[in-house]
Structure formats: C-alpha cells, structure tokens
Structure 1
C-alpha cells in the first residue's frame, strides 16, 4: 500500500486542515523529540516485532528532525512484561512500545491477574503493519489443501497435533479459530518460538500450524513444510499459487499486527506529532521495500483514532475465541 506522506496527506490523516498542518508541525518540532525516545519491544530479539522496530529506528532521526529511537527488548508474559513497563511509564512521548494483540488488546483475558487493562492503559498512536499468516503442514502429512486437512483431522481416531509458539499468541488464536470454523479436532503442542514450531514440523513432532509467512517462507521454498492456505482474504505475492483459507472456510481472516502506542494520558499534541513521524517513516520506499521483502508486510498508517478503533475490534473478535477454547497463559 503506497502512503501519501506529503504534509498535506498527513494533515488529512490527522483530520487537520492543510493550512494548520505546517504551523502545528513547526510548534511540535521544537518540543519533541529533544532527547532519545525509548521504543519497547515486548518480545525478544530477532522476531517480527523486533525487526520492525529496528527498521523504523534507522530513519527516525531524519523523519523526526532530530533525536533517536532506542529499541529496548522486554520479553515475557506473552508481551505483557514489556506492556506493563510502558503502561506505568511517564506519558511524555519518550516511552513508546511496539503494540501487539497480547499486551495491547487481549492480555487481561489470557492472564486474569494482569496488573493493567490493555484497553485502558495505553494511548494508541498509529497502526503500522499487518503481517500475513499461512497454514502449513509437515511435508509428508498427506493433505494437499485445506479441505483435505480438515477431512483428515475429522477422520483420525487419534487427533492431529498443531504447534503454537506460546499460549495465547496471535497464531495460537488463529489455530483455534481454524478449529472452530472447520469443526476439526486437534491437540495443541506449545513451544517457545516460531522457530521451534517449524522445527517440530520438520522433525514430525507435530502435524500442522498457522505461522507468519516471513518465518515459514524459507521452509516452504525448500520443501520442508507444505503451505495449504494463507489467512489473508486474498492470495499474497510471497506465496503464489497458495489460495486463501477463506476459499474453503468462508470469512476466515487472521493476521498479526503491530503499531505504536504509549502510556494512557499522553497530551494530544504529542500524539499527533508522533503519529505524523511514524506515518512518514512507513511511507519511505526503503522501509516498505525492507519490510515487504522480509515480512510480507501490509502497510496501514492512519490516525490514532483509527488504530484505537482497530484494537477494540480485535479485542471484541478474539476474546470470545479465547473464552470458548478456555485459553489461559498462566
């Protein structure tokens, strides 16, 4: 998706008139940033959220007119350790996080004892990207498409097994959505990362998984796993010839997503200024080329209000799945 990153385009995104956009930017320029900005990644190094953070950190000084974006990994609790660190930080524009479904939308449902409410503890600032998912099986399972996998799962006396990178991870929720819509039976096997999920399929420890395209793609290309369907509503360029799961299970859509959020209570001027900067960053051709190539990213952008509404919709969509499957991360 090509973003309009002219000042007039940003003004439209923020709901401001073009005539007021330049004065606002001039006022905010001197106020933020005047020191390094902390960007908390609520997961460990090397994953999709960490990769995204480090890609956007590179052009940050130029896009922001100074300052730097310091990436800090705070993993644990399905992202809620890092989320908690930002939720309790000063809402001054210098404590931000890479937002994710667990810490910013459904974490309280997964961990009832969580010390903060994901839907109240943050200021959504901008929705950066959606990352596509793909349904894969071990290479020798014998299912060549989604319908065949569903039929196989229903016919087996001993349930098939699916691999998930952690309890309550967005891909785990996508697995449960697949089972709910298909009526198939499978048992979960939990791992600590997407890399371990892929290893389990190659080693024939598990039968299938839904995982990020960026993680699965090399294994699909090498024939180590088989791709049956993408979780996008339409085919994607990275996996030509692989149909949407929705072609078999009507309406099936699932993605992982990331954005920028800060603590609740941030001043509106800071929110608008930070939104403008990150919209400009993800509109840069080199950023789009990098993230499209490495993660198959779909670029979103837009207003803080649009991101807040998106997060609410995600919570409303996935919390019933969590409750129905009795998923708890504790």
Structure 2
C-alpha cells in the first residue's frame, strides 16, 4: 500500500514538474515569437540622408510586412564617431525594442581612440550582419591624377600637401583613408565634415582633395564627371563602376567595405535573438528591400546567423586596433 501510494505521488509530482517545465518553455517561446508587439527603435550613427540612414530606412520599409504589422522606427543619433548612438543602445533594456545599426567605428575602433561609456567586446548582442556597402576613393576633378598610382606618387613628392575629407575621428571614412595612407606611405591632412554628403560637397567645391565615400552617395557625381574615382575600396569589382580598379591592385591587402549589422544591448535572451534574426533575414528577402539595397545602394546583402555575425565582429575587433596603431591614428 505504501509503495503504491509513493508511486502515485511520484508520478503526480513528476507530471506536474514536466507540465511546469513545458509551460515555462512554451512561455519563453511564445514571448520570443510574439516579438514585436509594438514599434521597434533602430538607432543609427548618422543624420538623415547618410548611407547608414538610407539602409535603415530600406529595412524599415520591409519590416512591417514580416513583423506582426509593427513598425521599425529609425532614430538618428549622429556625433562622436557613432559612439553617441552606440552608448545609448548599450544602456537600454535587452528586450529587443531598441536596436543599433552597428558599424566598424563604434563597434570595433573607437575604444582604441577614446575612453567610452561602453566596452564593444561585451556591450552588445550580435543579431545579424545586414550588408556590406562598397566605397570608392575619389579626388576632386580639378586635380590631374587619373589613377591611384599617380596620386600616391604625387603625394610622396609633396608630403602634407593634400587633404582628405572624413566624417570624424574613428568614422570609417577616416579609418579607411588613414589605412590607405599608411599602406601607401603618404600623408594627408584630415578635414572633418558631418556626413558623406558634406564630404562630397567639399570635393565638388574644391575644399577637399580626396575622400573615401560609398558608391551610392557619389555615383551620380562620378558619372557626371564632377569627381574622379581612383579605386574601389573592396577587392571585388564594383557593379556600378566596373572599369574602376580595386585599390588592392596598387596596395596588396587593401580590402575594406562599409559593413552594417543589427545588434541589441548585452544580455538578450537567446530565443529572442533568434527570433529577431529570423525577422531581419525575412526583411532582407522582401523584393523591394533587396532592390533598394543591392541596386540603389550598390550593396551586398549578407544575412546569416547571430553566431556568424558575432564571429565577424570579433575579427573586426582584432583587425582594426592593429590598423589604428600601424597608421598612427590618435585622438585629435
């Protein structure tokens, strides 16, 4: 009698425990699959009209159709090389409703140039690598140089004569040109502007000699002959400018693109990260989004898993501090 009673109690207790476990797991699953049940903020590092802003708005245009009818609201927080936007997101709750459009500066470089309120190694939950945007090395059209080799030769003969436009210390526009200068063994003076659009205007006015700018920002002016392309920043040919050689043809090993991905604050539940990853991978398959990113922005869509993006960021965190030191980039 005692044995039968004990068995009945064990079975009842075990059934209750398994039921509770199933309820908990089901609750977690329901929570993650219910995301989003309200609007989601996507914080970007630049003002309206910048390449990152345009990419974010392209994502926003496809978000509602695959995300329970909810909106993706783009929030512009420019300044301090992207660290204003990054630090804002790092302080938010890890609930999936404030996300950051990550990039090389605030996520892999800025901590080597200044003391930040966040540690890029630990402050974020990587979610998905969205896209890589090709960039092009430009000179103002009034300069006589037709190739990167010609410009480098002139810069070596006249150290410090030329200047380049950038969007600020640690911004990719600064970092990539400093990398090029270091590899080429030349010196240029950095002139800071607020955005890629302002940088392009500086070239058009003759206020700046050179710049590295995304293809999408500069393509119209390149085709009109208002600025001259010397080289693509990435090793692969540019679809929109197939006759422009890669910088790597002159500087072996120079291969950089403007990468962007989605991250959230540290401490996000893995199930929630997986859900957000799945949603953004679906967004990247929306035809109008794919066309806007691959054609209008001349970018390569990446997608993939959180683990793949995490591994990519870790490689960037190893790569760029070494470049900063080799190039002698210091806080200004």
Matched, 1:193 2:185: no
Q: Contact conserved, 2:160 with 2:189, CA < 8 A, in 1? A: no
Partner of 1:154: 156
Partner of 1:19: none
Matched, 1:251 2:265: no
Structure 1 CA distance for aligned equivalents of residues 112 and 290 of structure 2: 34
Partner of 1:80: 83
Q: Contact conserved, 2:47 with 2:195, CA < 8 A, in 1? A: no
Partner of 2:126: 124
Q: Contact conserved, 1:232 with 1:255, CA < 8 A, in 2? A: yes
Q: Secondary structure at the match of 2:251?
A: coil
Partner of 2:325: 323
Q: 2:179 aligns with which of 174, 177, 180?
A: 177
Partner of 1:105: 108
Q: 1:274 aligns with which of 273, 276, 280?
A: 276
Unaligned runs of 5+ in 1: 1-22
Shift of residue 45, structure 1, vs aligned partner: 1.3
Q: 1:309 aligns with which of 311, 314, 317?
A: 311
| Change in 2 beyond 3 A, CA 1:302/1:138 | same
Stretch of structure 1 that moved more, 287-296 or 316-325: 316-325
Structure 2 CA distance for aligned equivalents of residues 222 and 291 of structure 1: 22
Q: 2:267 aligns with which of 265, 277, 285?
A: 265
Matched, 1:31 2:34: yes
| Change in 2 beyond 3 A, CA 1:279/1:245 | same
Shift of residue 252, structure 1, vs aligned partner: 0.9
Matched, 1:95 2:103: no
Unaligned runs of 5+ in 2: 1-25
With normalisation by structure 1, the TM-score equals 0.88
Q: Contact conserved, 1:128 with 1:259, CA < 8 A, in 2? A: yes
With normalisation by structure 2, the TM-score equals 0.87
Shift of residue 237, structure 1, vs aligned partner: 1.2
Q: Hey, which bits of structure 1, 4+ residues long, moved more than 6 A?
A: 23-26
Partner of 1:66: 69
Q: Contact conserved, 2:160 with 2:187, CA < 8 A, in 1? A: no
Q: 2:55 aligns with which of 40, 44, 52?
A: 52
| Change in 2 beyond 3 A, CA 1:140/1:234 | same
Aligned-residue Cα RMSD (Å) equals 2.0
Q: Secondary structure at the match of 2:134?
A: strand
Shift of residue 262, structure 1, vs aligned partner: 0.3
| Change in 2 beyond 3 A, CA 1:326/1:252 | closer
Q: Contact conserved, 1:124 with 1:262, CA < 8 A, in 2? A: yes
Structure 2 CA distance for aligned equivalents of residues 115 and 26 of structure 1: 33
Partner of 2:140: 138
Q: Contact conserved, 2:136 with 2:232, CA < 8 A, in 1? A: yes
Partner of 1:240: 242
Q: Secondary structure at the match of 2:52?
A: helix
Q: Contact conserved, 1:153 with 1:185, CA < 8 A, in 2? A: yes
Shift of residue 321, structure 1, vs aligned partner: 2.2
Q: Contact conserved, 1:29 with 1:65, CA < 8 A, in 2? A: no
Q: Contact conserved, 1:171 with 1:256, CA < 8 A, in 2? A: no
How many aligned residue pairs are there?
A: 307
Superposed CA offset, 1:91-139 (max 9, x none):
0111111111222222211222x11111210001000000001011111
Structure 2 CA distance for aligned equivalents of residues 323 and 129 of structure 1: 27
Shift of residue 240, structure 1, vs aligned partner: 2.3
